[in-house]
Amino acid sequence: MTAAIEIDGVTKNFGSTRAVDNVSFEVPERSIFGLLGPNGAGKTTLFSLVASFLRPNSGAVRVEGIDVRNVSKLRGRLSILPQDAQFQANVPVLEQVIFFAMLSGSTRHDAEKAAMDALALVGLEEQAKKGARVLSHGMSKRLGIAQAFLGEPSVILLDEPTAGLDPKAARGIRDLIANQKVNGTLVISSHDLAEIQRMCDTVAIMRQGKLVECAKVSDLTRNDGAARLTFAKNLDDAQQASIRGVAGVANLVVDAAPTYGLVLDPEGNREEIIAKVVQTLAAAGVVARSIEDDTDLESRFLELTD
């Protein structure tokens, strides 16, 4: 599989702060790729490097094989929803989108049509002739998405498209993105891990400017013999020891008591081992409130970024 984006040993410093530290990975072509990390991990900086807004101190970024230092060669093929970028407050929304379309190579006539279609897609037809200053935060995000999908680019970067939105507005944006006919590659950064797990094929996880994981979502969330047990109150040492003594239990780790991580022997039968654990606890007078498969992206994310 060829790469839509190649990030090769990229480092970016802001003064004495190293925001991105020797990061390398590839975004597969025609994939939906998630970029994850806690605040300050370097996600937005990395997006800005890919879009050539920022110049790396070392390393190289290539989009569809073209070094982003020659970003004009990617005109019409690469687009971005930048985080926190503002539209011109006093210029009508429609005129701004027409301007973007014309810069991307459309004639005035085609640009007008493309702009109206894009605004209709995100439900902003009624605001078309108003200045961007009248738009709410959610509307601005929708306008940002409209301009990002304008002209059907083959690589689209969406930097936290749902940040700062209420749940309903965030849902609307998610549906909007999901309904787009993406024929190319979509890279999304988000704090909503469930959203990323649902939408993305592959994710990269960053922490303090470094890449800590880059893998398929299915690999990261594969159940490799772990479960999470939650009790009404903390287990004492004897109760913990009795669980560890069950055949097939490799370990019991304190996750965030009264929640415990149960590590199972991969050779054993998962269902049987958990049934034995439940029986052992019942004999000791303890009942688990919940038993969950430890298979969500959030667990993996916390494990990698803590």
Binding site residues, another protein, CB under 8 A: 48, 51-55, 71-72, 74-76, 78-80, 82, 84-88, 90-91, 95-96, 99-100, 102-104, 131, 147
**Cβ at position 153, least distance to another protein in Å:** 9
**Cβ at position 90, least distance to another protein in Å:** 4
Question: Could you write out the DSSP letters of every residue in 146-193?
Answer: HHHHTT--SEEEEESTTTT--HHHHHHHHHHHHHS---SEEEEE-S-H
Whole-angstrom distance, CA of residue 73 vs CA of residue 57: 22
Q: Which is nearer to another protein, 53 or 231 (CB)?
A: 53
Q: Which is nearer to another protein, 80 or 176 (CB)?
A: 80
**Cβ at position 96, least distance to another protein in Å:** 8
**Cβ at position 305, least distance to another protein in Å:** 26
Q: Is 224 exposed, middle or buried (0-12, 13-18, 19+ CB in 10 A)?
A: exposed
**Cβ at position 85, least distance to another protein in Å:** 4
Whole-angstrom distance, CA of residue 94 vs CA of residue 131: 9
Q: How many CA atoms lie within 13 A of 71 on its CB side?
A: 17
Q: How many CA atoms lie within 13 A of 271 on its CB side?
A: 0
Q: Which is nearer to another protein, 17 or 290 (CB)?
A: 17
Q: Which is nearer to another protein, 127 or 299 (CB)?
A: 127
Alpha carbon separation from 18 to 32, 42, 86, 113, 228 (Å, rounded): 28, 9, 26, 44, 36
Q: Which is nearer to another protein, 55 or 113 (CB)?
A: 55
**Cβ at position 14, least distance to another protein in Å:** 8
Whole-angstrom distance, CA of residue 207 vs CA of residue 209: 5
Q: Which is nearer to another protein, 42 or 227 (CB)?
A: 42
The DSSP output letter for 36 is E
